[in-house]
Each structure stands twice: as structure tokens, then as C-alpha cells.
Structure 1
Amino acid sequence: MDGPFEEIAEGDVTWRFEADFLRSRWTCIWGRGCLGIRAEPTPELKQGCCSVGAELDGPDEGARVSAYAAMLEPKRFEHHAQAATDGVFADERRLSTRVVDGACIFLNRPGFEGGEGCALHLAALDADEPPLEWKPSVCWQLPLKVEWEPGEQTNTEVATVRGWTRADWNEDGDEMHWCCTEGPEAYVGDRPVVESLGEELESIVGTTVYVELRRRLSPS
């Protein structure tokens, strides 16, 4: 989705927001017609974008996810046994989650008595805590993409916040049958993204910038 960008400067960071996407009625339709990111449409699998492991933001995030994973109980975590035996990460670097039977180890499959969907997400709700505190950042930020680059002045940065595209999946994107931001199916929300993903946006940019962003982009 190409369109104008709203710019908001705060300190040494200039935030650039893809206005058209944040004004759009995109909403996650996981379990409600989401076709998934495989080479063929597979809505019945209810995998969404969890068919691949989550790429973590670094060692600190790996340590955080590991700590929350250790708190998961078997009744809420379908692959608890596999995690206990071989861990939840793809390798010793702990920079991506394991794929088990064709999807992320944290994804509870359809029919699991403890609940379908992300085990970390479900456990966070059980604890009355925000899921974004438990989940890898790439998971709760999707479909928001944040790109950082140096600013024109020394020690400044420009952060662009936009909707993900197929190209952001790199080689995996070439094989995807469907990308939820690139077709009409997911643009069925009852609020603009700037409001429906308000908690996520505020966590990314901070309260001051988010309040100003919402003032500019929310319907009057």
C-alpha cells in the first residue's frame, strides 16, 4: 500500500507512518478465513503466519521468551513435551523458535483442548497480562513493520512504520499463496488500524508520539 507518510519528530528520532495503512480497516482474520502463508491456501490449519518460526530481536528477547515458555503448563501448551525435551528454539543461538510438525512450536493446533492459537498469547490472557509482553516482538507487531535508518543529522534516526508486504518475507514471500495485507479479505475491521492496534503502536513509539499520531489519523 503506497501513500503519504505522516512524520512526527521526538528527540533524536523522526517517526514516519504509512498513513493509508494506519487509516485502513485491516484486521487479523486468524481462524476467520485467514488463508495462511503456505504455497496453497490452508484456512483449515489455522496457522496464519505461524507456519514459520518467529525470528527474535536478539539475545535479550530470546531470554525473555525462554522465561515465559518455562511458565507454560501442559494444559495450555500442546507441544510442552517437545519443548521440555529439545527446547523451544531452533538452535543454541536462541534467535528463532522451533518449527514442529510444520508450524511454530508455540502454536496449539485445531482441536487442542487447551485452546487453539499461540500458547504464549493464551497464557498471557490467563495471567491477565498483555500478550505483547509474552510473545516475540515480530509476532505482536505484525502486520506492522518498523525500519530504522540514520537521519540526516549526526546521532539521529528515522523510523518508518508501515504495513508488511510479501517482499518482507524474503524468499518465503515468493512462495506464499496469500499475504493478508495485499488483498481485500482482511480489510474488514470496524476501526482503523491506528485504533485497533493502538496498544501495539504505543508500545513501539511511546505514548507521546502515539497520542499525536492518533490525533492526526483517527476519524474526526
Structure 2
Amino acid sequence: MPEVDLVFPRAWVEFVNPADEDEVMRCDLTWLTSSYTCIFGQGCAGIYADAPDVGCCTLGAHFADDADEQRVAGFVGMLDENLWQHGPRGREVTTEDWVEVDDEGERKTLTIVVDGQQACVFQNRPGFAPPGGGGGAGCALHALAYVLDKHPLETKPDVCWQLPIRRTFRDVTRQDGTTYTEVSIAEYDRRGWGPGGHDLDWYCTGNTEAHVALEPLYVTSAPELIELMGRPAYDELARHCEAHLRSRSALALHPADPH
């Protein structure tokens, strides 16, 4: 089925962060209670038609900051040929093997072209069968997390594990002159990619094909949300999500969900 429209009625909730009275969390209940799940390798068509096997990893990942890059660097040094298809062979990894600078001077993961398909250098392609076993398509850093018994959010660049949850910050001044920081937790839809997002050949968040989870997003992505919000704020969010699901308001359901 085609994607749903980008604009539709949504239900939002605002509450003070229990761990920080200067923060107000603004959360999209419609998105967070949806049945969305990543379907990479299970029907994902990729954001570009000429690279259907690499999901949304076509353009590489921009680092949030120096700390993000340095954290990932520590895990890149743990990768071997059984986990990383396109890593260097017979020598130690260097920064040039996995980092590049884009046209705006921003640092990001290197992209390479294999069999005509561009993707992040950490993206192993279908048919990857290393001599030590394992393999298959997918992110080498994601695979490393399971080897280390960690969650992938610990080993991957921030933007990779956050997508398609979007966290934004806004400074707000109330009419009485007091201020707070608004932290929004919402859907990273096509618009989140900038003007080029409208040119993507396929995108997941508004596609019925990706709204197939048996549990709502706030449950399936609890580790990511806790990392983004903190545990106290997540617990408060979960309470509001549960109440929202009980209400089952027709104007508050994601249109890509099965009804």
C-alpha cells in the first residue's frame, strides 16, 4: 500500500521531566503507540530504488559530536573480518577506513559503492559469508553489539540507533517570563531528512508495511527512549501511552497502523 499523508491528526502529551523541572517533554502519542517496527531484511525496500538491500544506510551517518565519533571509534577497533565485510585486511584500522568529510565539512561514516549500490562502509551486503561463520546482510556495528552482549545503541552512531525517533530541543519563554527547555520526542518522517527527504523512493515510518509490530513502539523501543529521555521521563511517558491506548480515539491512531 502507498504511504499515508505526512499531515494527519496527532495526539500529543506534555509533562515536566520528573528528573529536571526545567525540561518539559512533548511527546507524540500517535507515533509512540503505533505498531511501527524496523523491517530491514524483512521487506524494507531501501530509501533509494537502486540500493534496495541497504535500507536507510545509503548515505552514511553524520556524527552528533566528537564524543559520538570517539565512542564509535572504540568499537570499530573491535571489528574483525567475521563481522565487517568491507574493513581493512592485514593491518590495523585507521580513521580513513571509516570516516569522511561531507561537502559542508561535517564528519560522517564513509560511504562506498559495491555492485552499483552505495552504502555506509559498515553495511555488510547480502551473501556476506566470512570464513569464521556468521555473516549476512546488516550493520557490522550492530552485529558487534550482540557479540559483546550489548544493546546496539552502545556501538552505533547516535543517528543510527535513534532513527526513526526524532528528538529536538527548543527554548521556550512563557508569558510570565519564566523559561524552560522543550524536548520533543516524535516521528522522524520524510521531513526530518530535510528537503531531500521528499525525493526518497521509499520510506518506512508512514508505510503500512512497517506497521506490523505486535507491541507498540514505546515498548519495542524502550531502550532507545530511555537513553533519549532518561528513565523517570520514560516511565511517565509509558503511563500516558497506556492511557492513550485505552482511550482508542479514532483521531489519535497512526493511519499506517492496521485498524
Please report the TM-score for the alignment, with normalisation by the length of structure 1.
Answer: 0.91
CA distance in 2, matches of 1:131, 1:87: 21
Pair 1:193 & 2:217 matched = yes
Matched with 1:49 is: 56
Q: Equivalent residues in 2 for 1:51-200 (5 A)?
A: 51-81=58-88, 84=93, 86-91=96-101, 95-101=107-113, 102-113=118-129, 114-152=135-173, 156-200=180-224
Aligned CA-pair RMSD: 2.0
Q: Identify, as 1 or 2, the structure richer in strand.
A: 2
CA distance in 2, matches of 1:137, 1:80: 21
Q: Which amino acid letter does the alignment assign opposite residue 110 of structure 2?
A: R
CA distance in 1, matches of 2:179, 2:154: 29
Structure 1 residue runs of 4+, over 4 Å off? none
Q: What is the aligned-residue identity percentage?
A: 33
CA distance in 2, matches of 1:185, 1:8: 32
1:72-107 CA-to-partner distances (Å, cap 9, x unmatched) read 111110111189363211139772111011000111
Cα contact 1:150–1:158 (8 A) shared by 2: yes
- The secondary structure found in structure 1 opposite 2:228 is helix
1:29-79 CA-to-partner distances (Å, cap 9, x unmatched) read 1111111111x2754x2x111011101101111111112111111111011
Cα contact 1:143–1:164 (8 A) shared by 2: yes
1:175 shift after superposition? 2.0
CA distance in 2, matches of 1:24, 1:130: 22
- The secondary structure found in structure 2 opposite 1:128 is coil
1:141-191 CA-to-partner distances (Å, cap 9, x unmatched) read 111001111022556210111111111112431321111012211111101
CA distance in 2, matches of 1:174, 1:190: 29
Larger Rg: 2
Give the unaligned 5+ runs of structure 2.
Answer: 1-7, 130-134, 247-259
Label 1:150 to 1:159 Cα distance change in 2 as closer, same or farther (>3 A). same
- The secondary structure found in structure 1 opposite 2:109 is coil
Aligned residue-pair number: 217
